[in-house]
Amino acid sequence: MKLSKREQLHDDIRERIKDTARTQMAAEGTAALSLRAIAREMDVTAPALYRYFPGRDDLITALIVDAFNGLADAMAAAEAAQPRDDFRGRLLAALMAYRAWILQNPTDYQLIYGNPIPGYEGPRETTVPASQRSFEVIGLSLGEALAAGQWQPPAIYSAIPAQVEAHLLMILELVGYPIPPSVLYLVMMIWTRIHGLMTLEIFDHTPPVVGSSEHFYQFEITKLLDEIGLK
Amino acid sequence: MKLSKREQLHDDIRERIKDTARTQMAAEGTAALSLRAIAREMDVTAPALYRYFPGRDDLITALIVDAFNGLADAMAAAEAAQPRDDFRGRLLAALMAYRAWILQNPTDYQLIYGNPIPGYEGPRETTVPASQRSFEVIGLSLGEALAAGQWQPPAIYSAIPAQVEAHLLMILELVGYPIPPSVLYLVMMIWTRIHGLMTLEIFDHTPPVVGSSEHFYQFEITKLLDEIGLK
DNA sequence: TGTACATCAGTGAACGCGCGTTCACTGATGTAC
DNA sequence: TGTACATCAGTGAACGCGCGTTCACTGATGTAC
């Protein structure tokens, strides 16, 4: 479907507004996002922005969805660029892309995984599906490795706590992913690992101690892949 | 040193102000903290608060210092309650206390490790020392285990990346802790693990999937202690 | 190809709101004699 | 033990500021003939 000149321009300006919002959040913090400040920066009056977003909360929602998708796209693209039968390489690429994207877009990361913005209540049905895509990349490539008989979760993950296993099974049934609970468990575990590493990195808690956060991350990821038993 | 009745009362009200601030942050988010709202809640006019804090930023600083100390105290107390020669038990107790404190004080945790509050710039010389106390609990008990000949870091931690090792050594020299770089590395690694687990838990990202966050955390911590080689 | 008009991007004034902070003040209270 | 006074907690008005959002409007521009 083709956009008219006017629609095209409209979309472009929507993008410019979001970019300005991101710049502003990067400078002042996610909670300081303000329509008036964006308008000021764009040399336009504040009411003009209402041509593009119904209100402040809709702008925030758009930024959140963009952020989830940006992160997922980056991970998916990196994973897809690896040879299909190199399962360790595929997961490694995804996890490296995760770090790279966060370093390039720290504000977006704070927006989706940091403290909520006061007064903002997002529409769950819009944001939740976008948020899950990143983990599908990890879960599905592990699932393929398993299906290909190239890999198995280490024995200990067959001994996860009963309550947890039961809940994972329920979720898997609900969502319909063709993976066993042990693999979903691993996905959640991987998530907590990389999330901890990156949150402490972007808020500058670990870098002053470890010096090279890149080497720190790589070393931790390597150990993680070994631990999981990916060859 | 004894406090006069007036000084005593002054201190009590300072505490009440901080408690009200914590309640407010819990309800509206850390970034929504406001002197006027606190005053309103306390049935007092806003200027009255200036008898107790020179300004909004000083109140925030006080809350931050309290939070760091609260977390460190909780961990230290739990660790100290274990038999001195049960090194695994000591570390386990500290890590369990870490989770328990965060669940009891999620707002304080967001305040010290989450997104910074727009417009607030804290005095590093006040907050940094308080922030390090939690990790001394971990680092020093591992150090004692090592000194007692009861434990050694697994071999792989002698093979950490050269840049990281060099930096850790520099920090150790600077601060004067009697532990090798491999142990400091483990402290940082443990931190990223528990931080990732707890951040995703309090923001409700993992609980909907794993069901019982308590069992999830315990299982992960058990694996961690095994991995570190603590018996 | 030229023109008339409907569309819609952007303006400027205004609304009601909350914020941190200052200032001169009042009046209760703990303390020193 | 009783009293006089200095101290200081808290008030109320005011400051200048920024916010999101609404409304009636103007004037440029893309589109349909």
Instruction: Please state whether the predicted TM-score (pTM) of the whole model is above 0.85.
Output: yes
Alpha carbon of A80: minimum distance to chain B alpha carbons (Å): 26
Which parts of chain A register pLDDT below 70?
1-3
What is the per-residue pLDDT for A2? 58
Residue from the list A118, A170, A211 with its beta carbon closest to the beta carbon of B32: A118
CB A151 within 8 A of CB A87: yes
The residue type of A16 is R
Region B147-164: mean pLDDT is 97
Longest CA–CA separation in chain B, Å: 62
CB A215 within 8 A of CB B218: no
Report if CB B144 to strand C is under 7 Å.
no
For residue B28, the chain A residue with the least C-alpha distance is: A118
Report if CB A4 to strand D is under 7 Å.
yes
Q: What CA–CA distances, in Å, run from B74 to A45, B82, B137, B211?
A: 51, 13, 10, 26
User: Could you read off the pLDDT of B15-41 as tens digits, one per residue?
Assistant: 999 999 999 999 999 999 999 999 999
Among A66, A86, A61, CA closest to A145: A86
What is the per-residue pLDDT for B6? 81
Report if CB B52 to strand C is under 7 Å.
no
* Rounded Cα gap, residues A137 and A104, in angstroms: 20
Q: What is the mean pLDDT of chain B?
A: 96
* Rounded Cα gap, residues B24 and B34, in angstroms: 8
Report if CB A10 to strand D is under 7 Å.
no
Judging contacts by C-beta atoms under 8 Å, the chain B residues touching residue A211 are 163-164, 166-168, 170
The helix, strand and coil proportions of chain B, stated in percent and rounded to the nearest 5, come to 75, 0, 25
Strand C nucleotides, any atom under 7 Å to a protein CB: 8-14, 18-24, 30-31
Triad B130, B131, B135: Cα angle to 5°: 115
Residue from the list B161, B184, B210 with its beta carbon closest to the beta carbon of A168: B210
Chain B segment 18-37 residues within 8 A of A by beta carbon are 28-32
Report if CB B36 to strand C is under 7 Å.
yes
**Interface check B188 vs A, CB under 8 A:** yes
Q: How many Cα neighbours within 13 Å face the side chain of B126? A: 15
What is the per-residue pLDDT for B2? 58
CB contact under 8 A, B161 and A197: no
Backbone dihedral region for residue A212 (phi beyond 0: left; psi -120 to 50: alpha; all else: beta): beta
User: Could you read off the pLDDT of B46-98 as tens digits, one per residue?
Assistant: 999 999 999 999 999 999 999 999 999 999 999 999 999 999 999 999 999 99
What is the per-residue pLDDT for A6? 81
Among A93, A89, A58, A87, CA closest to A75: A93
What is the per-residue pLDDT for A113? 97
Tokens matching residue B135: 């990790």
**Interface check B114 vs A, CB under 8 A:** yes
CB contact under 8 A, A161 and B215: yes
Strand D nucleotides, any atom under 7 Å to a protein CB: 8-14, 18-24, 30-31
**Interface check A167 vs B, CB under 8 A:** yes
Amino acid B47 CA to nucleotide D15 C1' distance, rounded Å: 14
Residue from the list B167, B196, B210 with its beta carbon closest to the beta carbon of A195: B196
Report if CB A56 to strand D is under 7 Å.
yes
Residue tagged 């990196």 (tokens): A78
CB contact under 8 A, B193 and A193: yes
Alpha carbon of A215: minimum distance to chain B alpha carbons (Å): 6
CB contact under 8 A, B168 and A209: yes
Amino acid A126 CA to nucleotide C5 C1' distance, rounded Å: 40
* Rounded Cα gap, residues B213 and B19, in angstroms: 28
